[in-house]
Amino acid sequence: MPFVEVDRRILDRCLRRQPGAWEEFVDRFIGVFIHVIRHTAHMRSVDLTPADIEDLCSEVFLTLLKNDFAVLRHFKGKSSLATYLSVVSRRVVVKSMTQRRKSEALGHTSVHPSALRSSGVELSPQAVDQEEVRALMNQLPPSEAAVIKLFYLDGLSYQEISKQLGIAENSIGPTLHRAKERLRQGKVSSAG
């Protein structure tokens, strides 16, 4: 499918940051992104809530906006813009789903929020009270607080946390678990 003039105009306006261009871009392609998200989830047997779909759309949009529209600037026009955006959005969605599944398999995001809420703590990356987590981090040893911040507030993967903090990737899960247990049991200390 060719790169049509209407898409060329919308893309050009976005890259030049013209008023209303981003909104026009979103209106034109949001259906493509939602279709890709649903199709990818279906193919991977993942059930999505409307909130999950919104989150994944947001991740796609953030990817497109990142580094002054770098992904859009790399488009060469050798296919339709919709085809290019489908490929980009699928990669974003697959990466996100893979990270979520990995975290769930390691037991870090499958904790039911009510289990932590009873102790006044909610540490789910999808629905985290950032101010509460920041306050609780002050009660943890610095090494645990750093891991909590990078995982729950900054959304980094285990690999990214490992590189940033210079710790073994396989130590991150146990550190997160230990921190959650200490917070849940009220056994926090300022020593670390």
Query: CB within 8 A of 53, min separation 6: which ones?
Result: 34, 37, 38
Question: In whole angstroms, what is the distance from residue 82 CA to residue 128 CA?
Answer: 34
Q: What tens-digit pLDDT sequence spans the chain (192 residues)?
A: 678 899 999 999 999 999 999 999 999 999 999 999 999 999 888 888 888 898 899 899 999 999 889 999 999 999 999 999 999 999 999 998 888 777 666 655 444 333 333 334 434 444 455 666 676 677 788 888 888 888 777 778 888 888 999 988 888 878 877 777 766 665 444 444
Q: Is the pTM of this model over 0.85?
A: no
Tokens of 116: 């932590």
Kindly state the DSSP code that residue 27 receives in the 8-state scheme.
H
Tokens of 50: 């409307």
Full set of structural domains in the chain with CATH: 5-105 (1.10.1740.10), 113-185 (1.10.10.10)
CB contact at 8 A, 34 and 53: yes
Tokens of 70: 């770098």
CB contact at 8 A, 69 and 16: no
